[in-house]
Amino acid sequence: MFMEDLRPWKYYKDILSINYDYLIQNNYNILLFDLDNTILNNRETVVSNDIINLFNNLKRMGFTVLIVSNALPGRVQNVAKVLGVKGYGLAFKPFIKKIYKIKQAKKFNIENMVVIGDQLFTDIKAAKKLGIKSILVDPIDVYEPFITVFNRGRENDLINRGDYYE
């Protein structure tokens, strides 16, 4: 069972499975994607055509799409450039300072924002702290940096992945 401050708004298998029509129809038009194990696995540098097509479709649908990641800025910028979106690295999620600064600078309304990521203790928790809707997806790969392995163990105590898909 989830602790309330970690319960995502919605839960999908991956970013390709999300019901983006529902989001845009309900005025959730600002998407903040995590990078590692949400868009790409931690070791990949080449973005797949499926993901490039997804991001192109999202922009055509009217979404504002950003990457907000704890990854190093160079990695985030490389992927963001390929996807034609803005990217922000070293976000230090679950701390909210970077997301809050982006929200303020871009004059975003929290009511229109959705954070999409693969980790309860970073992505979902940051969204919850700001009152932003969140979508949890399964991680792309089992390979994780040490701190993420630690967090995954804690996550597994709270959720059986796959049990909550939309």
76 burial via Cβ count (<10 Å: 0-12, 13-18, 19+): buried
Can you give the residue range of the structural domain that contains 63? 4-158
- For the stretch 86-143, pLDDT in tens is 999 999 999 999 999 999 999 999 999 999 999 888 999 999 999 999 999 989 976 5
Residue 79 included in any domain:
yes
DSSP string, 89-103: ----TTS-HHHHHHH
Measured between its terminal Cα atoms, the distance across the chain in Å is: 17
Sheet with 133-137: strands ordered across: 10-12, 133-137, 113-117, 30-33, 64-68, 86-88
pTM score: 0.87
Classified as helix, coil or strand, 112 is helix
Q: How many domains does the chain have?
A: 1
Residue 86 within a domain: yes
